[in-house]
């Protein structure tokens, strides 16, 4: 590991797509800051695994992205770790139904914080460091930012804001920093209160032209492409959805 190896901060990286992305970037030479909120055991296990492959190349940091002071502290601690920042991957995202008539202010704040508020304030806090390295920001959007998902009005509104934030930051931070988004389709089925039954999963896959779910590696590979192979792409939202957005 050299002192000029690039550094990436990934939010929500202890599990699922975030963890796969952290491993993918690490395998490509990045040092990774693995953010987590409650999945401490998973985050520290992933950090240990990566450091065993390459010493001093991964660290796990905790933060509640609904708290602005936590967001700012996360940015500060991530930057202090190796003294540079080359990529911010805004992967953390709350997702669950909030039907009209049942939604609460707490749900509004949670969904807006993880999907919109935290990505903005992390970008703001790390903008100067990213400009120094001519780095990049990638936000996790959603195909439902344009095509609303029934019973999810707050989530869809947050993701619509996320898409516009991505495009706005691409203008605000140019020419030094590129900013793009990825809109996943059926990659991993949601968990807990957003979990789908078999009929719900089949209904979604019926609308996917490739007729199969994607894999977290599809998202990780797209992120790596945007970071390392796309120097003239900024302000774009790339759908990785098996064609669902055009069906």
Q: How far apart are CA 120 and CA 141, in angstroms?
A: 13
| Backbone torsions φ then ψ of 66, nearest 5 degrees | -85, -10
Q: Choosing from 30, 36, 96, 155, which is the catalytic residue? A: 155
Q: How far apart are CA 161 and CA 118, in angstroms?
A: 12
Partners of 7 in beta bridges = 31
Cα dihedral: 132, 52, 15, 40 (round 10):
-90
* Angle between helical axes of 153-172 and 105-112 (0-180°, round to 10): 30
- The three-state DSSP-derived secondary structure of 89-130 is EECCCCCCCCCCCCCCHHHHHHHHHHHHHHHHHHHHHHHHHH
Q: How far apart are CA 165 and CA 160, in angstroms?
A: 9
Whether the CB-CB separation of 209 and 202 falls below 8 Å is answered with no
3-class DSSP state of 205: helix
25: its two tokens? 């970037």
Partners of 238 in beta bridges = 182
Is residue 155 among the annotated active site residues? yes
3-class DSSP state of 17: helix
Annotated catalytic residues are 155
């Amino acid at each position: 590991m050299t002192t000029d190896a690039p550094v990436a901060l990934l939010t929500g990286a202890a599990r699922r797509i975030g963890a796969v992305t952290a491993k993918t970037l690490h395998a490509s030479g990045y040092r990774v800051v693995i953010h987590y909120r409650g999945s401490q055991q998973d985050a520290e296990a992933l950090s240990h695994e990566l450091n065993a492959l390459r010493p001093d190349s991964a660290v796990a940091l905790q933060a509640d992205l609904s708290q602005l002071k936590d967001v700012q502290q996360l940015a500060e601690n991530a930057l202090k770790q190796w003294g540079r920042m080359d990529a911010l991957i805004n992967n953390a995202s709350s997702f669950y139904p909030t039907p009209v008539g049942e939604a609460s202010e707490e749900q509004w704040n949670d969904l807006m914080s993880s999907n919109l508020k935290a990505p903005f304030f992390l970008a703001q806090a790390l903008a100067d460091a990213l400009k120094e390295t001519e780095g990049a920001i990638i936000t996790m959007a959603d195909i439902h930012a344009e095509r609303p998902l029934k019973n999810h009005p707050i989530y869809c509104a947050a993701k619509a804001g996320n898409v516009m934030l991505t495009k706005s930051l691409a203008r605000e931070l140019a020419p030094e920093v590129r900013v793009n988004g990825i809109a996943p389709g059926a990659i991993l089925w949601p968990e807990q209160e957003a979990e789908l039954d078999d009929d719900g999963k089949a209904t979604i896959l019926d609308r996917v032209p490739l007729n199969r779910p994607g894999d977290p590696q599809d998202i990780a590979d797209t992120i790596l492409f945007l970071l390392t192979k796309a120097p003239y792409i900024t302000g774009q939202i790339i759908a990785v959805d098996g064609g669902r957005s055009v069906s």
